[in-house]
Amino acid sequence: MTKPYGVVIISHSKDVAKGVHDIIKEIAPDVSITHAGGTEDGGIGTSFDAVNEAIESNEADKVYTFYDLGSAKMNIETVEEISEKEIILFNAPILEGAYATAAQVQMDEKPEVIAANLKGIEIK
């Protein structure tokens, strides 16, 4: 059973993106979790196309997105302009934010409660 909200992980490192994905999938098996990391040639960085694919391939129509550095955030915001999905972007640490969110989505927590809980770990 897939939940109505999904989680998307965007990192400058393909290993970080995959690692965070693998960790949170353990505690949220019913949440659609997708990820993108690194550049198309395998380097450190982000790719608009990969970020777009991670968001669009997520089974949920509403996705919480987490990122590690500024250009990853910029790519998420660019995808948000063209996507029909509801993209919810939090400035929270990538692992802690994604983990806390996925756990709450798994428990069917209300979006406003998830947002309130993430406020405590948001990066200013």
Concerning whether 35 is annotated as a catalytic residue, the answer is: no
Closest CA to 9 of 82, 86, 101: 101
Instruction: Bin 95: left if φ > 0, else alpha if -120 < ψ < 50, else beta.
Output: alpha
Catalytic residue among 12, 17, 24, 34: 12
Instruction: Kindly state the helix (H) or strand (E) to which residue 10 belongs, with its residue range.
Output: strand 5-11
The tally of CA atoms less than 13 A away on the side-chain side of residue 31 is 31
What is the set of active-site residues? 12
